[in-house]
C-alpha cells in the first residue's frame, strides 16, 4: 500500500485553480505530484462522479494514486485507490470492514483523534491545520505534529497553511508527507 502514499499529496479545490481542471492537474503532475485527493464539496454526486472519472483519465499512464473525499461509493465505483474521510464521514472501521481493498485516510485535528483513527484502522491520516489558514480554526502547530508523528505508526501528512518556505521545518518533524491545496497550485 505504501507505494500509493507519496510524499506530496495535492488536495483539489477547483475554485482556486488557475487553469481548467485537466490542465491544472497536468501542471501538478509536471511538478512531480503523484498523489491527489478530489475534494469538491459543492458538486452533486453525479458531477463528482464525472470529475472523478476525468481525474482518473488524466492520471492514467502516470504512477499516481488518487483518493475521493468522503464519498466511499464514488471511490469504489470509479476505482480510486482510496477514500479520505473528513470528520463527519462514515466511521473508518465500517468502511474498512466492508471495503478492505480501499486505502482509507482520515482527517485529524488532535492527538486523540489521530490515535483513534489509527485504532479504527485508518491507513494514513492528515493532521491539520499546522499553520494559520482561512476558515480552518486554530493551528495545531509543529510541536503537536511532532507528537502525533511519534505516537502513531501510520503515515502522517501535515496539512494546512504550509508554504514552500515552511516545508523544511515541517519535514524535520519526521512527518511522512506534506498535503496541501494552495501549496501545489501554480
- The residues of the shown chain that bind its own copies, judged by CB under 8 A, are 44-47, 49, 70-74, 76-77, 88-91, 94-95, 97-98
End-to-end CA, the chain: 29
Q: Which residue has 477547483 as its cell numbers?
A: 14
32 or 45: CB nearest its own copies: 45
At its nearest, how many Å lie between its own copies and the CB of residue 77? 5
At its nearest, how many Å lie between its own copies and the CB of residue 47? 7
16 or 47: CB nearest its own copies: 47
- 11 DSSP β-pair partners: 37
Query: What are φ and ψ of residue 177, in 5° steps?
Result: -160, 175
At its nearest, how many Å lie between its own copies and the CB of residue 110? 17
Say how far apart CA 116 and CA 113 lie, in whole Å. 5
46 or 63: CB nearest its own copies: 46
At its nearest, how many Å lie between its own copies and the CB of residue 79? 9
76 or 115: CB nearest its own copies: 76
Catalogue the long-range contacts made by 173-176 (C-beta closer than 8 Å, 24 or more residues apart): 173/142, 173/145, 173/146, 173/149, 174/146, 174/149, 174/150, 175/127, 175/145, 175/149, 176/5, 176/7, 176/124, 176/149
33 or 38: CB nearest its own copies: 38
Q: Which residue has 488536495 as its cell numbers?
A: 11
At its nearest, how many Å lie between its own copies and the CB of residue 1? 20
Amino acid at each position: 500500500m505504501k507505494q500509493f502514499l507519496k510524499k506530496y499529496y495535492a488536495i483539489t479545490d477547483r475554485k482556486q485553480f488557475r487553469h481548467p481542471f485537466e490542465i491544472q492537474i497536468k501542471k501538478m503532475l509536471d511538478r512531480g505530484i503523484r498523489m491527489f485527493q478530489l475534494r469538491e464539496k459543492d458538486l452533486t454526486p453525479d458531477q463528482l462522479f464525472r470529475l472523478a472519472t476525468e481525474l482518473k483519465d488524466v492520471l492514467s499512464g502516470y504512477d499516481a494514486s488518487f483518493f475521493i473525499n468522503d464519498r466511499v461509493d464514488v471511490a469504489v465505483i470509479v476505482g480510486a485507490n482510496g477514500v479520505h474521510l473528513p470528520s463527519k464521514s462514515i466511521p473508518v472501521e465500517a468502511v474498512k470492514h466492508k471495503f478492505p481493498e480501499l486505502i482509507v485516510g482520515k482527517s485529524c485535528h488532535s492527538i486523540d483523534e489521530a490515535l483513534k483513527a489509527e485504532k479504527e484502522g485508518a491507513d494514513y491520516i492528515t493532521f491539520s491545520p499546522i499553520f494559520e489558514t482561512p476558515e480552518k480554526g486554530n493551528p495545531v502547530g509543529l510541536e503537536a505534529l511532532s507528537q502525533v508523528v511519534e505516537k502513531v505508526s501510520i503515515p502522517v501528512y501535515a496539512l494546512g497553511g504550509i508554504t514552500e518556505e515552511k516545508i523544511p521545518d515541517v519535514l524535520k518533524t519526521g512527518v511522512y508527507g506534506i498535503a496541501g491545496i494552495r501549496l501545489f497550485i501554480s
